[in-house]
Amino acid sequence: MLKNHNKDSENKNQDKSPRIFQREKIKTSLSIRERLDFTPKQKEFIRLALDKQTKVLITDGLWGTSKTFLTIYCALKLLNDRRISEIIYIRNPIESSSVSKLGYLKGDIDEKMAPYSSPLFDKLEELLPVGEMNALINENRIKIMAPGFIRGHSWNCKVIIVDESSCLTIEDLFLIISRVGEFSKIYFIGDSFQNDIGSKSGFLKFFHTFNDQESKDNGIFTFEFKDNADIVRSSLLRFLMKKLKLTG
């Protein structure tokens, strides 16, 4: 009887996490440059983004509130802690609606996406030594995708950053979120004040759909950077936003 009891105890203590295929984690540690000037609101974002209970984080923030920087910082932290194996950066290749168009871009998909993925590489250069950044790229730990090429994918143990989410339709947003598998996190970042697809943007509807307690109970959270104090790019931008009556 004692033997059977011990066997039953062993079975109860077994790891019941889903068994999934995942790429091996990175073998060397990253030298992420830490900052001492995070605002209280930014620290709140980082805490929520890194929390184990957070599966999806949808952020609506004004220009200059460091949305992209913060999400890439958190993604690198998760990669360094071996909680994920890869970072996927998604951005819709849409040009600004208020300036002249570039027209047809030559090259393969990577070359066509280069102008739209430059914010990612700018932030990686801020956060990592060049050698470590290049190593991650060479190991294919950082992938860049357009929404039109994600159908059929299933993402386990990854961080997915959906930049400029306000430039996506509601169908695009639901397609992207439906790709997320086990042990992944997905960060949607956008600005409901500006988008380049006009009334087709589904970002606000997407944000409000999941802005409730039931969503939180299922690991989906919303976050806002909407106050003048949240703008950290420059004091000039804070003044401009206030002058334009976009902040209080």
Mean pLDDT calculated for residue range 6-26: 64
pLDDT in tens, 160-207: 999 999 999 999 999 999 999 999 999 999 999 888 888 999 999 999
User: Quick check: is 99 in a domain?
Assistant: no
User: By the 8 A CB rule, do 225 and 195 touch?
Assistant: no
Q: Is residue 11 assigned to a domain?
A: no
Name the band, by pLDDT with cuts 50, 70 and 90, for residue 73.
very high
Supply the pTM of this predicted model: 0.85
Is 158 within the bounds of a domain?
A: yes
Distance CA 180, CA 186 (A): 7
Tokens of 190: 């956008």
Long-range contacts of 175-181 (CB under 8 A, 24+ apart): 175/147, 175/150, 175/151, 176/90, 176/147, 176/150, 177/56, 179/150, 179/153, 179/154, 179/155, 180/55, 180/56, 180/155, 181/20, 181/154, 181/155, 181/156
Number of domains in the chain: 1
Distances in whole angstroms, Cα of residue 204 to Cα of each of 44, 195, 217, 225, 226: 22, 11, 21, 14, 14
Q: Residue 109: its pLDDT value, please? A: 56
The predicted pLDDT at position 110 comes to 62
Percent of the chain with pLDDT over 70: 83
Rounded Cα gap, residues 112 and 193, in angstroms: 27
Pairwise pLDDT comparison (41 vs 15), residue with the higher score: 41
In a domain, 180, yes or no: yes
Spatial distance between the Cα atoms of 224 and 209, rounded to a whole number of angstroms: 15
**Is residue 20 domain-resident?**
no
The alpha carbons of the chain give a radius of gyration, in whole angstroms, of 20
Scored b (16 or more CB within 10 A) or e, 184-201 reads: bbbbbbbbbebbbbeeeb
Q: What is the pLDDT of residue 112?
A: 61
pLDDT per position as a tens digit, 94-133: 655 544 444 455 555 566 656 667 889 999 999 999 999 9
**pLDDT of 227:** 86
Average the pLDDT over 63-82 and give the result.
95
For tokens 């936003």, the residue is 241
Over 80: is that where the pLDDT of 6 sits?
no
Query: SS3 of 248, please?
Result: coil
> In percent, how much of the chain has pLDDT > 90?
61
Q: How many CB atoms lie within 10 A of CB 77?
A: 18
What is the domain extent for residue 52?
Answer: 37-93+107-243
Q: Which letter does DSSP use for residue 67 in this model? A: H
Number of alpha carbons in the 13 Å side-chain half-sphere of residue 78? 32
Cα 19 to Cα 208: distance, rounded to the nearest angstrom: 33
Reference 164, options 71, 55, 43, 86; nearest CA is 71
Where residue 111 sits, what CATH number does that domain have? Answer: 3.40.50.300
pLDDT confidence bin for 1, thresholds 50/70/90: very low
Q: What per-residue confidence (pLDDT) applies to 99?
A: 44
Residue 32 falls within a domain, yes or no? no
Across residues 17-28, what is the average pLDDT? Answer: 80
Q: Is residue 129 part of a domain?
A: yes
Q: Going by C-beta distance under 8 Å and a sequence separation of 6 or more, which residues neighbour residue 225?
A: 41, 45, 59, 60, 61, 62, 65, 67, 231
Reported as a pLDDT band with limits 50, 70 and 90, residue 93 is confident
Give dist(CA 24, CA 101) in Å, integer.
Answer: 42
With respect to residue 27, please indicate whether it lies within any of the assigned structural domains. Answer: no
Q: Is the pLDDT of residue 75 over 80?
A: yes
What pLDDT shows up at residue 205?
A: 97
State the average pLDDT for the chain.
86
